Amino acid sequence: MNRITKKFHNLKQQNKCAFVAYICGGDPDYLTSLDIMKSLPNLGVDIIEIGVPFLDPAGDGPIIEASAKRAIKAGMNLKKTLQMIKEFRKNDNITPIVIMSYFNPILKFGIDKFFFEAKKSGIDGVLIVDLPLEEENEIINEISKNKLDFIRLIAPTTSIDRAKKILKNSSGFVYLISILGITGTKMAEPKDNIVNLKKLKKISSLPIVVGFGIQNENQAQQFSQIGFDGVVVGSAIVKEISEQKSSKQNIANLQDKIVKFSSAIKNKI
């Protein structure tokens, strides 16, 4: 049983919902980002989703797009993101990690090399935002060979027939996008996702996680109550990071803010 499967199994035994936290690797700089990442499991985060900074995003809103710009300006790239995860694993071999990337950085890095290095660094799952179903053969063999989970996004407008095809090679969990549009721009409504949740549960035994537009603990609680197995919070955390500068005092303040924010969410779900 890998780390992602084990985490959802343990949470289900406790009748709890997973708290998945997104950060952009290297935002606002490598060391600060690593410190933040190391602190997340102690703040109630069950799964860490770490983004590879990219300047031409298709699904990211202005908050996460700005975080990528800060990270790249500070010298962050895919290679350093993998190194950051490797550093994290020196002290934490339990917390599941999903790396989120667009396909271009992976292609530039080298597909075979990326998946080999991803496994070596301690990654559990891979989410490639802009890789369509029709092109997944590019990576399926490498995913399987390196025993990584293939996390797939399901849009709110995806038909059942297409969802079945997308989920055929999926593992770990299913990521349902809760809104039409990009991240961090509007609030997601739990009631608008009930039908899609029921449809996905009929065609997949994987945990169903919801993300995009979840900004506070009350929303997270409502999504948990209608039956989601996990909630992803990204822009709200990244916004807190953006408001702090890289000094020891400010990082301590940032961690205090994330403690309060994360604790509020974890206590509700």
Q: What is the pLDDT of residues 243-262, one digit of tens each?
A: 765 545 566 676 677 777 77
- The answer to whether residues 153 and 177 touch, using CB atoms and an 8 Å cutoff, is yes
Domain boundaries of the chain, sorted by first residue: 18-263
pLDDT in tens, 178-220: 987 655 556 778 888 999 999 999 999 999 999 988 888 888 8
Superfamily of the domain at 18-263 = Aldolase class I (3.20.20.70)
Q: Which pTM value belongs to this model?
A: 0.92
**For the chain, how many residues are written?**
269
CA 99/CA 125 separation, integer angstroms:
6
Residue 59 pLDDT exceeds 80: no
Mean pLDDT on 98-119: 97
CA-to-CA distance for 260 and 95, rounded, in angstroms? 20
Distance CA 79, CA 117 (A): 9
| Structural element, H or E, at residue 103 | helix 103-109
Helix or strand holding residue 175 (H, E)? strand 174-177
Tens-digit pLDDT profile for residues 22-55:
999 999 999 989 999 998 998 889 999 999 999 8
Identify any residues that bridge with 82 across adjacent strands, giving them in sequence order. none
Cα gap 147→155, rounded to integer Å: 26
The catalytic site residues sit at 49, 60
Please check the confidence at residue 96 and state whether its pLDDT lies above 90: yes
Measure the CA–CA gap between 217 and 221, rounded to whole angstroms: 6
